[in-house]
């Protein structure tokens, strides 16, 4: 099977996101900028990769798929220093974990990377 050549690309070019909190857990909803990129995200943004990306910052990671919204939902456990009013963090409610996930690089086909970078301008 021939595999297309891939390049690493930050998720910010492929997706937008919003995050919030439930107690000491942050959630990040990752939404494909183009519906056709959802499948790529589903394959590339795995629990293992996200856990590695956030190592030392969160304990467990859960992932849920929402193909109807071209979105993935991640739960980042123990991410908020106790969360709510207990937390001493600036971002006690996990509001900007969204863009922290968008820093992550995933391998994408060259053609997709080209289109995604162009869209960002």
Partner 1 sequence: MSGGKVVRIAGGQGFWGDWLEAPVRQVQGGPIDYLMMDYLAEVTMSIMQKQRSRNPHAGYARDFVPLMERILPDIVKKGIRVTSNAGGVNPRGCAEAVLDSARKLGLGGKLKVGLVTGDDLLPDLDELIAAGHEMRDMETGRPLSDIRDRVLSANAYLGMQPMVEALRRGAQVVITGRVTDTGLTLAPMFHEFGWDFDDWDKVAAGTVAGHIIECGAQSSGGNLLKDWRSVKGLANPGFPIVEAHEDGSFVITKHPGTGGVVSVPSVTEQLVYEMGDPHQYITPDGVADFTTIRLKRAGKDRVQVSGIRGGPRTPMLKVSIAYFYGYKAVGTLVYGWPDAHDKARAADAILRQRLKDLGLEFEQILTEYVGVDATHGRLAGPASPELPEVQLRIGVRSTDKAAVERFTREIAPLVLTGPPSVTGFAGGRPQVEEIVAYWPALIDRTAVEPGVRVEILEA
Answer yes or no whether residue 39 interacts with partner 1 by CB under 8 A.
no
Answer yes or no whether residue 100 interacts with partner 1 by CB under 8 A.
yes
Q: Which distant-in-sequence residues (6+ apart) come within 8 Å of 50 by Cβ?
A: 61, 63, 74, 76, 101, 104
Can you tell me which residue has the tokens 């589903």?
42
Binding string, residues 44-63; x marks residues near partner 1 by CB under 8 A: ---------xx-xx------
When the beta carbons of 5 and 121 are compared against partner 1, the nearer one is: 121
| Encoded tokens for 1 | 């099977």
SS (H, E, C) 42-56: HHHCCHHHHHHHCEC
Interface positions with partner 1 (CB under 8 A): 16-24, 27, 29, 31, 33, 53-54, 56-57, 64-71, 73, 75, 81-82, 84-86, 88-91, 96, 98-100, 103
């Amino acid at each position: 099977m021939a595999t297309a050549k891939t390049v690493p690309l930050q998720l910010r070019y492929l997706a937008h996101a919003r995050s919030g909190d439930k107690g000491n857990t942050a959630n990040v909803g990752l939404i494909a900028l183009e519906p056709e990129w959802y499948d790529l995200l589903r394959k590339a943004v795995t629990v293992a990769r996200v856990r590695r990306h956030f190592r030392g910052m969160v304990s467990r990671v859960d992932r849920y798929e929402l193909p109807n919204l071209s979105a993935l939902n991640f739960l980042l456990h123990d991410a908020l220093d106790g969360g709510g009013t207990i937390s001493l963090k600036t971002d006690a409610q996990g509001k900007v974990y969204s863009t922290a996930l968008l820093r992550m690089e995933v391998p994408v086909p060259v053609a997709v990377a080209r289109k995604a970078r162009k869209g960002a301008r």
